[in-house]
C-alpha cells in the first residue's frame, strides 16, 4: 500500500535547527538516492522525517527566490472546483500534485523578523487538509556573498490569529513541518540551493517504521517536482497569468 504524504518542504544548513537533532530522535532508517539524503527517527510517539538535497539554477538568487515565493501559481488544476479563494477558472501554470490553492496573508500584529507573511495551503490528499505556515525571507552574508534563506514553518491556529488577526483553522496530520531553501550565490549568475524538509507526526499510518519507505518515495517524488517547477517559474516557462482571488 502506498502512503501519500503532503510535503511542505525543508532545508537544514549549518547553524540552523534540525528537528532530528533538536528532539534527539533515534534514526532507525536512512537512504541515499539521486542526490537526496532521506532519514527518519522516532521520539516518544512521534516520528520525524527529513529530506535534504541540492540543485543548481542558472539564475541569480533574487530570481530563484521570487520563483520560490510565487506559491499562488503552483497547484493542481484538476482540483479547481474545490477552490474557495482563487477563481475556479484560473489556470495554474505550474503543477503541484496535492495542492488545491495557496492564500497569502500579511502580518499585521507583530514586529516582523525579516520579510515575513503567512500562507494557508489547501491540500487534497485522501481528504481535505489545511496547513498554515509562516514564511520568512532573510539575506545571509557569507564570504562576501549575499545569499538568501527562505524558511517555511507550520504554525498553530493561535499564532496564525495573532499574526494575521484572522481565524485561520488548520487541519492536518502533521504536527510540525519546516522547509528551508538556502540560496547560495556562486557567481556567474548562478545559484546553488541547499534544500531541506522535515516533518513530525504521530499519525498511526505513517509513524511506524514499516511505512518509512513509502513516505521516502513520496517525499522524493514531490520534492523533485517542486524544484523542477521552481526552475520553470524562474525562467518564466508556463504562461503565468494573474491569479486573482475571489476575496
pLDDT score for 126: 80
Name which of 9-23, 24-38, 141-155 the model is least confident about.
Answer: 9-23
Q: What are φ and ψ of residue 156, in 5° steps? A: -80, 170
Instruction: Please give the average per-residue pLDDT across 50-63, as a whole number.
Output: 96
Q: What is the pLDDT of residues 80-120, one digit of tens each?
A: 999 999 999 999 999 999 999 999 999 986 666 779 999 99
Instruction: Please give the average per-residue pLDDT across 22-50, as a whole number.
Output: 92
pLDDT score for 5: 34
pLDDT score for 18: 79
Q: What are the angstrom distances between the C-alpha of 132 and each of 29, 79, 93, 94?
A: 29, 19, 23, 21
Q: Are strands 99-105 and 115-124 parallel, antiparallel or unpaired?
A: antiparallel
Residues 6+ apart with CB under 8 A from 58: 189, 190
Separation of CA 3 from chain center: 19
Instruction: Please give the average per-residue pLDDT across 184-202, as a whole number.
Output: 95
The CA-based dihedral angle spanning residues 125, 12, 55, 3, taken in that order and rounded to the nearest 10 degrees: -20
Distance CA 108, CA 117 (A): 9
Q: Which CATH architecture has domain 19-235?
A: 2-Layer Sandwich (3.30)
Q: Are strands 94-95 and 74-75 parallel, antiparallel or unpaired?
A: parallel
pLDDT score for 7: 34
Tell whether the model's pLDDT for residue 72 goes beyond 80: yes
CB-based contact 129:172 (threshold 8 Å): yes
Name which of 111-120, 136-145, 201-210 the model is least confident about.
Answer: 111-120
Instruction: Please give the average per-residue pLDDT across 122-134, as a whole number.
Output: 92
pLDDT score for 110: 63
SS3 168: coil
**C-alpha cell recorded at residue 5:** 504524504
Amino acid at each position: 500500500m502506498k502512503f501519500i504524504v503532503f510535503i511542505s518542504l525543508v532545508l537544514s544548513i549549518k547553524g540552523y535547527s534540525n528537528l532530528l537533532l533538536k528532539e534527539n530522535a533515534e534514526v532507525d532508517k536512512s537512504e541515499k538516492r539521486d542526490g537526496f539524503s532521506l532519514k527518519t527517527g522516532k521520539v516518544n510517539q512521534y516520528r520525524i522525517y527529513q529530506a535534504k538535497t541540492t540543485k543548481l539554477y542558472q539564475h541569480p538568487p533574487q530570481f530563484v527566490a521570487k520563483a520560490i515565493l510565487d506559491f499562488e501559481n503552483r497547484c493542481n488544476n484538476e482540483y479547481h472546483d474545490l477552490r474557495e479563494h482563487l477563481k475556479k477558472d484560473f489556470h495554474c501554470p505550474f503543477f503541484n500534485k496535492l495542492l488545491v490553492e495557496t492564500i497569502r496573508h500579511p502580518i499585521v500584529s507583530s514586529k516582523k523578523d525579516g520579510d515575513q507573511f503567512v500562507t494557508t495551503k489547501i491540500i487534497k490528499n485522501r481528504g481535505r487538509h489545511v496547513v498554515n505556515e509562516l514564511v520568512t525571507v532573510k539575506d545571509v552574508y557569507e564570504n562576501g556573498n549575499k545569499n538568501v534563506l527562505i524558511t517555511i514553518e507550520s504554525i498553530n491556529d493561535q499564532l496564525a490569529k495573532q499574526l494575521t488577526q484572522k481565524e485561520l483553522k488548520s487541519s492536518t496530520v502533521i504536527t510540525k513541518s519546516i522547509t528551508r531553501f538556502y540560496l547560495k550565490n556562486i557567481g556567474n549568475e548562478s545559484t546553488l540551493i541547499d534544500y531541506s524538509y522535515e516533518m513530525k507526526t504521530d499519525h498511526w499510518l505513517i509513524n511506524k517504521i514499516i511505512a518509512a519507505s513509502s513516505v521516502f518515495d513520496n517525499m522524493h517524488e514531490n520534492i523533485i517536482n517542486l524544484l523542477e517547477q521552481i526552475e520553470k517559474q524562474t525562467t518564466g516557462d508556463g504562461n503565468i497569468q494573474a491569479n486573482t482571488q475571489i476575496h
